[in-house]
């Protein structure tokens, strides 16, 4: 698995590094320039990084939209190791980048970045990137996964008022950004992580080994 991950990581290319560097510089610039009126940690790590994780999984971790998908599918008895390796090659560096940005932002804004933001960022990013991977194994259209996740991300931001309805706060992806009036963000993030795990169970079923005839 590690060998596969290293191979997939090499295929990310220079664009991924350039975009990741731009995201990191943007986050640190926001940390340095943002005033006290903005909830920087929520904007950067609960809202911003999950979108980047979904884009990374959809654009650099693409599977069915890959030009070589037919050849890979024909030569592989099971697609899951390839799909998981390609996803990990995009998701792991993205989360490492989030950790570095948290460290830098914690230095620029002392006391604002706490350890609990790691879980908030990781679980939300895992959900959105897993959704991107789930779409990626079903749709051969280029950029479809990133587009769908981007639309869901935007819709969730615009639907903040739905938190008045019972039960919505348990699954709303940006609960800490929205204020978390009942203090259930840990349960909320656990639900998002569970939803991501269910998406991967569906991916595993989709990519299950086929019987040879």
pLDDT of residue 119: 93
Q: Using CA atoms in the order 21, 22, 28, 32, what is the torsion angle rounded to 10 degrees?
A: 150
What is the pLDDT, as a whole number, of residue 196?
96
Give the C-alpha separation, 200 to 212, whole Å. 24
Structure confidence at residue 156 (pLDDT) = 94
Which pLDDT does position 39 carry in this prediction?
85
Backbone angles phi, psi at 115, to 5 degrees: -65, -25
With 0-12 CB in 10 A as exposed, 13-18 as middle and 19+ as buried, what is 154? exposed
Q: Compute CA distances 126 → 13, 108, 199, whole Å.
A: 22, 26, 10
pLDDT in tens, the chain (213 residues): 556 556 666 666 677 888 888 999 999 898 888 777 788 889 999 999 999 999 999 988 888 887 778 787 777 777 888 888 889 888 998 999 999 999 998 888 887 788 889 999 999 999 999 999 999 999 888 889 999 999 999 999 999 888 888 889 999 999 999 988 888 999 999 999 999 999 999 999 988 776 544
Q: Tens digits of per-residue pLDDT, 178-188?
A: 988 888 999 99
Kindly list the domain boundaries of the chain, sorted by start residue: 2-206
Q: Which two tokens stand for residue 174?
A: 């940006």
Q: What is the pLDDT of residue 2?
A: 58
| pTM confidence score | 0.90
Query: Which candidate, 71, 72, 77, places its Cα nearest to that of 209?
Result: 77
């Amino acid at each position: 698995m590690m060998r596969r991950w290293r191979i997939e990581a090499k295929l990310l290319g220079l664009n991924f590094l350039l975009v990741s560097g731009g995201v990191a510089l943007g986050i640190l610039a926001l940390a340095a320039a943002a005033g006290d009126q903005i909830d920087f940690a929520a904007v950067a790590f609960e809202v911003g990084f999950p979108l980047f994780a979904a884009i990374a999984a959809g654009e650099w971790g693409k599977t069915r939209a890959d030009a070589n998908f037919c050849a890979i599918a024909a030569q592989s008895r099971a697609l899951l190791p390839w799909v998981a390796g390609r996803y990990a090659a995009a998701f792991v560096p993205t989360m490492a980048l989030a950790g570095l940005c948290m460290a830098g932002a914690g230095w620029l804004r002392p006391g604002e970045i706490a350890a609990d933001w790691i879980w908030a960022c990781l679980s939300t990013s895992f959900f959105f990137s897993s959704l991107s991977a789930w779409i990626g194994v079903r749709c051969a259209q280029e950029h479809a996964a990133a587009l769908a996740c981007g639309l869901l991300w935007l819709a969730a931001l615009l639907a903040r008022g739905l938190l008045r309805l019972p039960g919505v706060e348990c699954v709303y992806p940006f609960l800490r950004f929205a204020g978390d009036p009942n203090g259930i963000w840990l349960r909320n993030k656990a639900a998002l992580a569970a939803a991501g795990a269910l998406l991967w169970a569906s991916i595993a079923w989709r990519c299950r080994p086929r019987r040879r005839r």
